[in-house]
Amino acid sequence: MFANLLHNVSKSLKIIIVGNGKVGHTLVEQLSKEGNNITVIEKDATVIADLDSQFDVITIKGNGASYNTLKEAGVETADLVIAVTGSDELNLLCCTIAKQFSSCAAIARVRTPDYSQEVGYLRDKLGLAMIINPELESAREMARILYLPTALQVNTFAHGQAEMIKFKIPSGNTLDQMTIANLGRHITNNILICGVERKGEVYIPSGSFCLEADDTIYFAATRNEARKFLKNIGVFTKQVKNAMIVGGGLSSFYLANELLHAGVDVSILETSLERCNELSTMLPEATIINADASSQEGLMSAGLTNMEAFVPLTGIDEENVLLTLYAKRVSKAKVITKINRINFSEVIADLDLGSVVYPKLITSEAIIAYARALRASRSSEIETLYHLFDSKAEAIEFRIKEASPVVGKELRELSLKDNLLIAFINRRGKIIIPSGSDTIEIGDSVMIVTTHTGFNEIRDILK
């Protein structure tokens, strides 16, 4: 499928990636798959050998903050430099040096809370295209889910004015055995079901598609309409009142901070007394408990059975999975499971883990969206990109900047690719769930959902 899209690519990018940890590896895999020329700078010879055996990329052993190393990597003619080492300072330094000797765009991963409060200042002063914080972005995604606990996932578009919500149809629900067309006739036309997963297969549904219990769906709507729709089909929509977080790392700090600001009571379980003291100072409104969460007694004495939400954020995937399964057995809490490795996503999908969040995918999606925007023509650019259904589909928001073959024509006149849906049009802040008579105009942003991959600009939706 990807090969069929290569003719749409305006140009391949020359990209330098500094650091090949979890995020770096994901970026190499995704960006090389999309036809870019990748050079990786990495200090660890073992990691380099592993890269060389898996991908058709150039590898350089060295320090990404060294001008000589960057020069060897071709920084002077690079389109994009991405620094994702384990050090915030090194990432910022790599990008700063690259910008001094090149006209490339630069992206730095920065995780420390102190720096996160200064993102706008650092980005502008250092001339960076993007500063991204995986823990903060994943915490925001988790918070959005806890504000709407029946959702498995909540993605935002149109600067927060539209949402794409992942939801599993319960047995006996109104939607069971209802066609998409009848949903519009009998419930609402103000939401659009964009994708359905059934027994591992993903469908971009037409009006005749019949929904079934246990289908996992994504639907697009404004925030208010999404909640009205869920209420109309008998689904609980109020945000949680309290939450228990396991682990006291950066993700826990960011999530607790988000929830406290929304009026949610937060308890954090952490084994290190020193870290508990730090968290007590940083989050005075939270309840910090020095306890071993791997102990069932510790969880129960901390009040797990009374919690409306439970989020294990340890650094160990297996522990997060076990904690989630235990919480589901002894409580009615909404659970979110953080998974760092995506190698076993199909196995994870078979487990009943509630909402699953992959921080490195959130990071890579934002960077891939920027890279695709660099490749596109001037007529449109990507504002937001999300992978859906374990990357079997994509939701992409394009901003329409200039005239193109899709502008000014009724949607029914456009010859769209198969397995593709236009989910909404954002026109000056008004979200339009489109019909065949609607048009795309300059200045709009348009969200499409498709099982194709590699779209760079809005005209890629055409056959």
Higher pLDDT, 10 or 64: 64
Average pLDDT, integer, range 188-202: 93
Residue 293 lies in a domain: yes
User: How confident is the model at residue 405, as a pLDDT?
Assistant: 93
Neighbouring-strand partners of residue 425: 432, 446
Cβ(96)–Cβ(89) below 8 Å? no
Average pLDDT, integer, range 73-101: 95
Residues 344 and 282 in one domain: yes
> Final residue of a domain: which of 307, 327, 357?
357
User: How confident is the model at residue 378, as a pLDDT?
Assistant: 63
pLDDT band, residue 375 (cuts 50/70/90): confident
Q: Which tokens belong to 90? A: 């090194």
Return the percentage of the chain with pLDDT > 70, whole number.
96
Residues 127 and 145 in one domain: no
Quick one: 176 exposed, middle or buried, by C-beta within 10 A (0-12, 13-18, 19+)? middle
CA end-to-end distance (rounded Å), the chain: 13
User: How confident is the model at residue 381, as a pLDDT?
Assistant: 83
Sign of the torsion angle spanned by Cα atoms 180, 182, 186, 190: positive
Residue 368 lies in a domain: no
Return the percentage of the chain with pLDDT > 90, whole number.
74
Residues 256 and 347 in one domain: yes
Please tell me the total count of domains within the chain: 4
For residue 274, is pLDDT > 90?
yes
Output the domain CATH number for residue 382: 3.30.70.1450
Residue 226 lies in a domain: yes
User: How confident is the model at residue 34, as a pLDDT?
Assistant: 86
Residue 142 lies in a domain: yes
User: How confident is the model at residue 369, as a pLDDT?
Assistant: 87
Least confident of 71-75, 210-214, 342-346, 388-392: 342-346
Residue 318 lies in a domain: yes
User: How confident is the model at residue 377, as a pLDDT?
Assistant: 61
Q: How many residues does the chain have?
A: 463
Mean pLDDT, the chain, as a whole number? 91
Residues 206 and 246 in one domain: no
Q: What is the pLDDT of residues 130-175, one digit of tens each?
A: 999 989 999 999 999 999 999 999 999 988 899 999 999 999 999 9
pLDDT band, residue 6 (cuts 50/70/90): very low
Residues 255 and 173 in one domain: no
Neighbour order of strands in the sheet with 162-168: 153-157, 162-168, 216-222, 192-198, 201-203
User: How confident is the model at residue 5, as a pLDDT?
Assistant: 36
Listing DSSP states for 402-438 in one string gives: S--TTBTSBGGGS-BPSSEEEEEEEETTEEE---TT-
pLDDT band, residue 13 (cuts 50/70/90): very high
Residues 35 and 52 in one domain: yes
User: How confident is the model at residue 160, as a pLDDT?
Assistant: 87
- Tokens 């002894």 found at: 330
Q: What is the pLDDT of residues 23-63, one digit of tens each?
A: 899 899 989 988 899 999 999 999 999 999 999 999 999 99
**C-alpha distances in Å from residue 66, one per residue of 19, 71, 203, 332:** 13, 9, 48, 53
Q: Residue 220: which domain range?
A: 138-232
Residues 290 and 350 in one domain: yes
Residues 120 and 143 in one domain: no
Output the domain CATH number for residue 301: 3.40.50.720
Residues 118 and 39 in one domain: yes
DSSP 391: T
pLDDT band, residue 253 (cuts 50/70/90): very high
> Final residue of a domain: which of 209, 232, 255?
232
Q: Tell me the residue type at 293.
A: A
Residues 155 and 226 in one domain: yes
Residues 9 and 108 in one domain: yes
> Final residue of a domain: which of 357, 391, 418?
357
Residue 363 lies in a domain: no
- Tokens 């994509």 found at: 394
User: How confident is the model at residue 110, as a pLDDT?
Assistant: 92
Average pLDDT, integer, range 74-85: 95
For residue 8, is pLDDT > 50?
no
- Cα–Cα dist 267/248, whole Å: 10
- Cα–Cα dist 80/388, whole Å: 26
User: How confident is the model at residue 166, as a pLDDT?
Assistant: 95
- Cα–Cα dist 191/225, whole Å: 7
For residue 390, is pLDDT > 50?
yes
Residue 367 lies in a domain: no
Residue 366 lies in a domain: no
Average pLDDT, integer, range 210-233: 94
Higher pLDDT, 271 or 347: 271
User: How confident is the model at residue 109, as a pLDDT?
Assistant: 93
Residues 142 and 219 in one domain: yes
The structure's pTM equals: 0.85
For residue 4, is pLDDT > 80?
no
